[in-house]
């Protein structure tokens, strides 16, 4: 997969998940609004002196709908966090593929040092700063079959 096609796939993935998150947000908000309206109607019926069973049932339905809406918002928040983690991982993968493709454009006399710097940068991108030493490179080469 080329870097440009990977970028297209990443963009499509992100847009699809953004649409799903938008639907989740609006469903959550709708459930909370409906729950609030039902709850207010139930309390209004109770205060107006209507049959207690109707007012209690309506109020309980409103409270239940509020809990459902809150659950929807909880899931929305978790999905949003998960989307950001997955998207960041995909972007990092695309960066690696792009950097690897660029190595073919480097003159041969500079290629070893540039690849050395690129590997070092990729290894320490999200971790503590560790310099890629010759010993580490030899150890990695020895582990290869």
* DSSP string over 21-52: HHHHHHHHHHHHHHHHHHHHHHHHHHHHT--H
pLDDT tens digits, residue range 53-95? 787 888 888 888 888 888 888 888 888 888 878 777 777 777 7
pLDDT at res. 59 = 82
The predicted pLDDT at position 94 comes to: 77
Helices marked H in the chain? 3-48, 52-102, 108-123, 134-143
The token pair that represents 94 in the structure block? 């695309």
- Inform me whether the pLDDT recorded for 20 exceeds 70: yes
User: What integer pLDDT is reported at residue 133 of this predicted model?
Assistant: 66
Check the CA dihedral 122-127-129-133 and report its sign: negative
For residue 100, pLDDT over 80 is answered with no
How does residue 105 score in pLDDT terms, banded at 50, 70 and 90?
confident
* More confident site: 9 or 25: 25
pLDDT top residue among 40 and 122: 40
In the chain, the percentage of residues whose pLDDT exceeds 70 is 81
Is the pLDDT at 11 greater than 60? The verdict is: yes
| pLDDT of residue 130 exceeding 60 | no
Choose between 1 and 54: higher pLDDT.
54
Share of the chain above pLDDT 90, in %: 0
């Amino acid at each position: 997969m080329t870097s440009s096609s990977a970028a297209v796939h990443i963009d499509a993935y992100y847009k699809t998940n953004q649409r799903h998150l938008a639907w989740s947000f609006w469903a959550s908000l709708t459930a909370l609004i409906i729950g609030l309206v039902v709850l207010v109607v139930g309390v209004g019926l109770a205060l107006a002196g209507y049959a207690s069973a109707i007012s209690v049932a309506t109020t309980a339905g409103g409270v239940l709908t509020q809990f459902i809406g809150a659950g929807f918002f909880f899931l929305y928040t978790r999905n949003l966090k998960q989307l950001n983690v997955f998207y960041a991982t995909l972007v990092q993968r695309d960066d690696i593929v792009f950097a690897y493709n660029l190595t073919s454009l480097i003159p041969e006399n500079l290629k070893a040092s540039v690849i050395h710097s690129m590997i070092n940068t990729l290894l320490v991108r999200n971790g503590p700063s560790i310099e890629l030493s010759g010993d580490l490179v030899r150890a990695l080469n020895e582990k290869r079959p």
